[in-house]
Amino acid sequence: MKPQAAKTLRAFLVELVVYAILVVGYFFLVLHFLGESLHQLEMRHRYTYAGVAILLIVGQAVVLEALTTLLLRLFSGRSE
């Protein structure tokens, strides 16, 4: 394997480990507490739930995109 490719792969693996730790924390903290309130909202106020669902998925995507970009920069030393 070329040295540059090996460096990129190593950086990616480190990024993946850091990302996995953050995501596991997210599973147990945020989703655990969010689960029941979203369930109640889904049962009682469907339209509000539909709006909140879109806001949550878009909001999380924006945050995760920023996080992965930051991690990519941090570990590979460049922004692709």
Which positions touch other proteins (CB under 8 A)?
16, 19, 23, 26-27, 31, 34-36, 38-39, 42, 46-47, 49-54, 56-58, 60-62, 64-65, 67-69, 72, 80
Within 10 angstroms of residue 76's Cβ, the number of other Cβ atoms is: 16
C-alpha–C-alpha distance, residues 64 and 66, integer Å? 5
- Least Å from the CB of residue 51 to other proteins: 7
Cβ 17 to other proteins shortest distance, Å: 12
Query: Is residue 1 helix, strand or coil?
Result: coil
Min. distance of Cβ 56 from other proteins in angstroms?
A: 6
Both structure tokens of 13:
């693996």
